[in-house]
Copies of this chain bind each other. A is one copy, B any other.
Amino acid sequence: MLFLARMDVHFPEDMDPDTMADFQKREKAYSSDLQNRGIMKGIWRVVGEYSNYSMYDVDGHDELHSIFQGFPMFKYMDVKVTPLATHPNATKADFFAPVEGN
């Protein structure tokens, strides 16, 4: 099943740059892994904001919540989740490219 998430990041104002860079590095690794495993189908930056829209294909809600909680920056993120169904006007069952190598 597909879910759209909007994530807004709010770091504490006094976080030092090294800590922030470390968070971002670990976040990137975590996100890459989710993409490589075909769970995160896409992620895009909202222009002008420290926010993203991202899409997830999972088998259930517990798995999805566990994935969100696993984000290194989870405690600094506001996450809003929208469940998505097949649209009657869709011409494909899956709009996303297959995972490379699969």
Contact surface of A with B, Cβ cutoff 8 Å? 1-5, 11-14, 24, 27-28, 31-32, 35-36, 41-49, 52-54, 60-62, 64-65, 68, 75, 78-92, 94-98, 100
Contacts and interface: CB of A to CB of B under 8 A. Distances in A.
Mostly, the A contact residues are mixed
A61 B84 contact: yes
A73 to B, nearest CB: 11
Q: How many copies are assembled?
A: 10
Given A1-B60, A28-B89, A61-B2, A46 B84 contact: yes
Contact of A80 (B5, B48, B96): B48
Nearest to A30: B89
Nearest to A36: B91
The residue in A28, A45, A79 that gathers the most chain B C-beta atoms within 10 A of its C-beta is A45
B96 A83 contact: no
